[in-house]
Chain A
Amino acid sequence: MSQWLANIFEQQASRRSGDDEGTEQLVPALTIEHRGLRYVSDFSYLSEVIENALIVPYPEKHSAHIGIINMRGAIVPVLCLAALFGQDEKCCLGERDREGRPLKYPRMVVFCSPAGSFAVGASHVKKCLVPREKMQQCGEIEIEGKVYRILNENFFLRMEEMVA
């Protein structure tokens, strides 16, 4: 996402939260849901959300590496968040449909980490506002009664190490 757009978002968030001292400061975030797993991501690392991207799987299966997509001429690797976090790998996107074709996912969320761009599959994505302080912590956060795993700066900075 472009920086100016992120700034506007942040300004709006600040306005809505009152931005007074002592008031909890809210920051924009993106919730991602797929096959029952939920994540909430730092908005500043979001590049874009693509609808119906075709994933070409690798000729060899790797736990966290699913395949690649074409994002307007740029090849972007698709990663499985579940495998990265040691969750149920069946949730990974690397499977095929009954016809054996690589699965098409409703949405691909493309992030831009310092180590490079990558995409993750999602059934649902939603913008939301979360307390900045909580977003900076590692672990999980509860939003509207549901528990989300946090993808914050720490996560994006460690991408290279995590996929290795």
Chain B
Amino acid sequence: MNDLFLEFLLEAEENVQALNEAVDVLIQTPGEPEAFKRVLRALHTLKGGFGVFQMTSVQNACHEIENICGKDASKHTKEFYLWLQSQAQELERFLQTAREAGSPSDLPFTVTPWNGGEAATITTTAGEAEISLEDEFALAEKEAAKFFTKEPEKSQAPAAPVEPASEAPALKVVHSEAPSGPEKVAETKAPVTATASSAPAKPSSHAADSHVRVSLSKIDDVLASIWEIFMARNQISYLIEQSRPLFQNDPALLRTWEAMDSSLRRMVGELESQVMEMRMVPLSGVFQRMARVVQQFAHTSGKQIEFRGIGETIELDKRIVDSLADPLIHLVRNAMDHGIEMPDVRRSKGKDATGVITLKVEISGTEVILSVIDDGKGLNPDVIRKKALANGLVHAADMSDTEVINLIFESGFSTAEKVTDISGRGVGMDAVKSHLESLSGSIEVHSVPDKGCTFLIRIPLKVSVLNSLICSINEMDYAIPHSSIIEAYTIDQTELKRNGHDKYYTYRGEPLKVHDLTKYFPAREDFQLKIIQRKAALLIVRDESVPGKCHALQVSQICRNQELVVKPLPSLTQPIPYVSGVSILADGRPIFILSATKLIQQLTEKREKAKHVSMAG
């Protein structure tokens, strides 16, 4: 994509965001003058930008919306701002289409007519129009200065400095006649370029001047370099450890090396966290988008819905935030369309007429957990089972309610009686699930009929450097993140109580079942010799899926703590649910990073399955 156009799109997206935010304020407080000014400013800037790229249709549309808005905020009602909100959303969609198109083209854009209230008849007065056109000239000049000064080849034929006032009529003609021919646009562009290049270093008080827009890929490149330094640091640390005997005669030299190593570690760590911070954005944008979706739906459907957000100040990696918006919107739309009942139905069930949809975000260990909670009618397992049987899923009859409910994530599965523009096509939930799985995340649903429904999404945080405990299991090293370990120690085998094949360890007065990993992981041939050891290495780990719950894992040996640079599993690797990533140790060996929670889930499933098979046998 053309860099200039990409930069324009980024700015335009920011302007639409600003427009949306201002409209949100006006919906709450119609007539709020500052917010209204922000609306006009955003529309005006967008109009100028579109004009520079000859996107006439949308440019005219912005102009039309501006005209409908007029100058007086107090004339408009909440209904008007809801209409304005829908136009802002159209602009958002338009920008997305333009981004997909990859180059500026005059894509069609139509303004939905505003027929309510007096605003429909608002026309700009002569004076206003004059101001508007002057503004337009200034705006076009500003936009052109911003974009065209970056392309020196476009200024190769320097035009004589042009007096802005003398050029104003030319601009007036172009805008008032809604230019369609390229020659007219060229007419406006050339003098503007000349004007811009004549004063390129004009100081501006605009806040953007203190910012530099950097692409995520560039930040990623910097991060990759930092991780290389980090791994080199690990190797230095390993070499110091290996060379310790050589320093016997010179302990001061060893101390100097250790101090340097420690200082390097701190500096690389700081550098890494600073760069990681550059990628972090607050979730507030996603929350605002959700609130707008709910507001629009409630307005058109006749349902009363309140949106509540918890955790909007949490900051996450930009890629995660961007990729979460669509699945969340889908879930919220489903909740509004299928979950929340009409006010009279809710009243008849003894509920408040206003349904509540809550989006809750929290960080737990190395995961971000998002919950979309509604207090609607919930999912009815009987209806889903019936639908599944009708779709030919014969096993549905034997499934538990929880298993049946999770069928909603199957492709083509929808229990909606009619397809609306919101949901019901049955192509959404499986897309949501596969999208989340592509982010190494997961989704589960919990539902209580007539109480509501909760969708729980877990996404691993992009953690680059992980403090881990290196454990040996049957002579192979594995890393387990510190965040999931509560305690780690070596105990005497006699401290483990046996009950049949199971072993238990009393932890804080409670018996904890011990999951012996040496039995599940690839074993050495001399494994039997190892197991009769008197000592047992135990890790008490927290179950991140159940708050407050913990488990005991038995490993062969607890080796050491180490900071590891996490790498994703490469493609063509067989995915193992409990392997959350890989890393490279200081001696060059690759090591698997295990997720304790998922490992326990897998072990429990295996045991259940084995028990089921033996009982059936």
Contacts and interface: CB of A to CB of B under 8 A. Distances in A.
Q: Do A and B bind each other?
A: yes
Interface of A: 54, 56-62, 64-65, 68-70, 73-77, 79, 96, 98-102, 113, 115-118, 159-160, 163
Interface stretch (B300-308, B398-406, B441-449, B568-576): B568-576
A77 B522 contact: no
Contacts of B592: 56, 58-59
B356 to A, nearest CB: 42
A102 B611 CA distance: 32
Interface of A is mostly: strand
Interface stretch (B19-27, B333-341, B535-543, B581-589): B581-589
A95 B582 CA distance: 21
Interface stretch (B261-269, B420-428, B453-461, B474-482): B474-482
A56 B590 contact: yes
Given A73-B231, A96-B524, A100-B475, A56 B572 contact: no
A48 to B, nearest CB: 16
Contact of B476 (A57, A98, A113, A159): A57
A70 B588 CA distance: 7
A62 B579 CA distance: 14
A59 B589 contact: no
Nearest to B599: A59
A75 B570 contact: yes
A61 B590 CA distance: 17
Contact of B573 (A68, A98, A113): A68
A69 to B, nearest CB: 7
Contact of B579 (A59, A70, A73, A99): A59
Contacts of B526: 100
A23 B523 CA distance: 56
Nearest to A95: B522
B228 interface: yes
Contacts of A159: 572
Nearest to B477: A56
B582 A75 contact: yes
Contacts, number: 83
Contacts of B569: 75
Interface in B572-617: 572-574, 576, 578-579, 582, 584, 588-592, 594
Q: 10 closest pairs, A vs B, by CB? A: A100-B524, A116-B571, A65-B574, A77-B573, A62-B574, A116-B572, A56-B590, A68-B590, A70-B590, A118-B572
B146 interface: no
Contact of A57 (B522, B571, B572): B522
Given A62-B574, A65-B574, 8 more contacts: A56-B592, A59-B478, A59-B522, A68-B590, A73-B228, A75-B569, A75-B584, A96-B522
Contacts of A70: 584, 588-590
Contact of B570 (A54, A77, A102, A160): A77
A61 B522 contact: yes
B590 A59 contact: no
Nearest to B525: A100
Interface residues of B, number: 33
Nearest to A94: B522
Contacts of A58: 574, 576, 579, 592
A7 to B, nearest CB: 27
A54 B525 contact: no
Given A59-B592, A77-B570, A68 B582 contact: yes
B589 A77 contact: no
A44 B520 CA distance: 40
B507 interface: no
B184 interface: no
12 contacts: A56-B476, A58-B592, A59-B576, A60-B576, A65-B573, A69-B590, A75-B567, A75-B569, A100-B526, A102-B476, A115-B571, A160-B572
Contacts of B527: 100
A85 B475 CA distance: 31
A29 to B, nearest CB: 22
A124 to B, nearest CB: 24
Contacts of B590: 56, 68-70, 75
B525 A115 contact: no
Nearest to B582: A75
A65 B588 CA distance: 21
Contact of A115 (B231, B478, B572): B572
Contacts of A113: 572
A79 B525 contact: no
Given A57-B522, A68-B582, A69-B590, A77 B567 contact: no
A96 B476 CA distance: 12
B257 interface: no
A22 to B, nearest CB: 41
Nearest to A102: B476
A60 B476 CA distance: 12
A36 to B, nearest CB: 24
A68 B567 CA distance: 13
A163 B573 CA distance: 8
Nearest to B224: A73
B521 interface: yes
A62 B576 CA distance: 10
B476 to A, nearest CB: 7
A57 B524 CA distance: 12
Contacts of A56: 476, 589-592
Contacts of A99: 524-525
A52 to B, nearest CB: 12
A24 B588 CA distance: 46
Nearest to B478: A59
A68 B571 CA distance: 11
A74 B231 CA distance: 12
A98 B588 contact: no
Given A59-B478, A100-B475, A77 B584 contact: no
A1 B302 CA distance: 64
**Which of B231, B476, B567 has most chain A Cβ within 10 Å?**
B476
Contacts of B567: 75
Contacts of B576: 58-60
Interface in B184-212: none
Interface string B497-532: 000000000000000000000001111111100000
Contacts of B578: 59
Contacts of B582: 68, 75
A116 B522 contact: no
Nearest to A101: B475
Nearest to B517: A59
Given A61-B522, A76-B570, A100 B474 contact: yes
B231 to A, nearest CB: 7
A102 to B, nearest CB: 8
A54 B588 CA distance: 9
Given A75-B567, A117-B570, A59 B521 contact: yes
Contacts of A98: 525
Nearest to A59: B521
